[in-house]
Amino acid sequence: MPSSSEWTNPLRDPRDARLPRIAGPSGMVIFGVTGDLAKKKLLPAIYDLAHRGLLPAGFTFVGFGRREWSNEQFQDYVRDAVEEKARTEFDEHVWQRLAEGMNFVQGNFDSNESFDELASTLSRLDKERGTGGNWAFYLSIPPNSFSDVCHQLDRTGMAVGGEKNWRRVVIEKPFGHDQESAHKLNEIVNAVFPEDAVFRIDHYLGKETVQNILALRFANQLFDPLWNAHYVDHVQITMAEDIGLGGRAGYYDGIGAARDVIQNHLLQLLALVAMEEPISFSPHEMQAEKVKVLRATRPIEPFSETTARGQYAAGWQGSEKVKGLREEEGFDPNSNTETYAACTLEINSRRWAGVPFYLRTGKRLGRRVTEIAIVFKNPPHQPFHPGQTASLGNNAVVIRVQPDEGVLMRFGSKVPGSAMEVRDVNMDFSYSEAFTEQSPEAYERLILDALLDEASLFPTNEEVELSWAILDPILDYWANNGAPDEYAAGSWGPESSDAILARDGRTWRRP
């Protein structure tokens, strides 16, 4: 018999996989509920799930925080967040049903009394709301508080379920700042929660277009024969943002773009693009393949030529004049935090030997775009005069993660006319044109999966530590080699980043 989680996975469920998956009786406690992430993403996603009918009837959630709030004040706070940010429309009836199960417990992470109260609140709610003793604890808090919270959940017996009920922990990034600190955090968490009860969030894995990498690669015959070092010249993974860091100094200063984005989102994209076909989409098989590819991945040296980092200076974002990082509120005016990071990686496997993977991310760039470009080699021979193909670039498959979600294929085509001239053309699949269904937000999918015990889209402790191991040598090099290069806000990053590809006779795509 398959386990309960196997039945709930749409990719493996032997019943009609198009049916919605609905969470069983359960509740969620959010630590860090007054933070930015909870307000902008978690609370709206919970409402959206309720609106889509995917939460159980008595779904209950508890906010835990320092504020002296009554349940009603907490509900007002959540309502504001939902009205402002939910993806689905506001429905008074849905809201009322959700609000009935909303509670607030006031307290500090190091206070026995507060956690005793939380424990008795959960017992009471189990009786009143039929949550069945099934609770997920969502840690949307800085990693230096993990230890206190895990200790308290352990001390009060809240961390362990019984034979018939479950307890899980959902953890937000940043998960450490290097391999060693990530390892320590894993030890702290795993001392209290077994690994199969730990759900580490990488919200990129909850995006539809990221899951579509699996469909594109493993449901089709068209791409796989070309998906290797014989045909692929190089791969570019780009996550560009146009926003700046005003208001995020507390989290970002001293962290920087590589830790914020490359260690997690971009390395997970790399793993999905480069991994071998998993035996199934069970968490275990998926994670096994991702681990194999991360284990084989190394940064290419010398870092002076294969990496770049930058910090945005004042400039123009479209028609808006914007500040440089050092002038942003809360940042150290001498901050050396990078807001742009690029690196070159290689994967030591038969499939990928010799194919560079270029990764880049930055704030205040020309526009917001996340994409993965698989750029192919030129044909070994072309029966054309050089002039006839002078405007022909490399063939490419571009997976557009966001915005304008879709997949683009670039190849050469004859220009109409009596002469033979070959030029690049695009064949474009766009989600919004092909489907009428709207994509759910990543957090809707991931919160639901955590409640359903479906772990395929959550990185394991090993994946997290391996990702840090890939990045650590670059971070060490940067720490000992001066300040980041400046780039103007609204540009495409520092010149040193273009030099990484120019060295190999290549250029970054201008999305």
| Active-site residue set | 265
DSSP state letter for 41: I
> In Å, how far are 154, 261, 495 from 177, measured between CA atoms?
25, 12, 27
Closer to ligand BG6 by CB, 245 or 501: give it.
245
Closer to ligand BG6 by CB, 260 or 338: give it.
260
Residue 442 in contact with residue 150, Cβ under 8 Å?
no
The footprint of ligand BG6 on residues 81-140 (CB under 6 A) is none
Residue with tokens 């010249």, as numbered in its chain: 233
Task: Find the shortest distance in angstroms from Cβ 213 to ligand BG6.
Answer: 16
Closer to ligand BG6 by CB, 105 or 261: give it.
261
207 annotated ligand binder: yes
* Spatial separation of the C-alpha atoms in residues 32 and 247, rounded to whole Å: 17
173 annotated ligand binder: yes
DSSP state letter for 310: E
Residue with tokens 């990129």, as numbered in its chain: 204
DSSP 159-180: S---SS--EEEEEPSP--SSHH
DSSP state letter for 457: T
Task: Find the shortest distance in angstroms from Cβ 261 to ligand BG6.
Answer: 6
* Spatial separation of the C-alpha atoms in residues 136 and 55, rounded to whole Å: 13
85 annotated ligand binder: no
Task: Find the shortest distance in angstroms from Cβ 256 to ligand BG6.
Answer: 10
Residue 140 in contact with residue 30, Cβ under 8 Å?
yes
Nearest alpha carbon to residue 123 among 154, 147, 150, 157: 157
Closer to ligand BG6 by CB, 81 or 159: give it.
81
127 annotated ligand binder: no
Q: Determine, following the binding rule CB under 6 A, whether residue 328 of this chain makes contact with ligand BG6.
A: no
Task: Find the shortest distance in angstroms from Cβ 441 to ligand BG6.
Answer: 9
- Kindly tell me which residue out of 6, 126, 241, 463 binds ligand BG6, with binding defined by CB under 6 A: 241
Task: Find the shortest distance in angstroms from Cβ 60 to ligand BG6.
Answer: 28
**Prior bond of 403 cis (ω within 30°):** yes
Number of residues that bind ligand BG6 (CB under 6 A): 3
241 annotated ligand binder: yes
Closer to ligand BG6 by CB, 48 or 241: give it.
241
Residue nearest to ligand BG6 (CB): 260
* Spatial separation of the C-alpha atoms in residues 299 and 294, rounded to whole Å: 11
The footprint of ligand BG6 on residues 256-285 (CB under 6 A) is 260-261
Residue 495 in contact with residue 485, Cβ under 8 Å?
yes
Please report, in range form, the residues annotated as the binding site.
66, 173, 203, 207, 241, 260, 363
Residues that bind ligand BG6 (CB under 6 A): 241, 260-261
Please report, in range form, the residues annotated as the binding site for substrate.
203, 207, 241, 260, 363
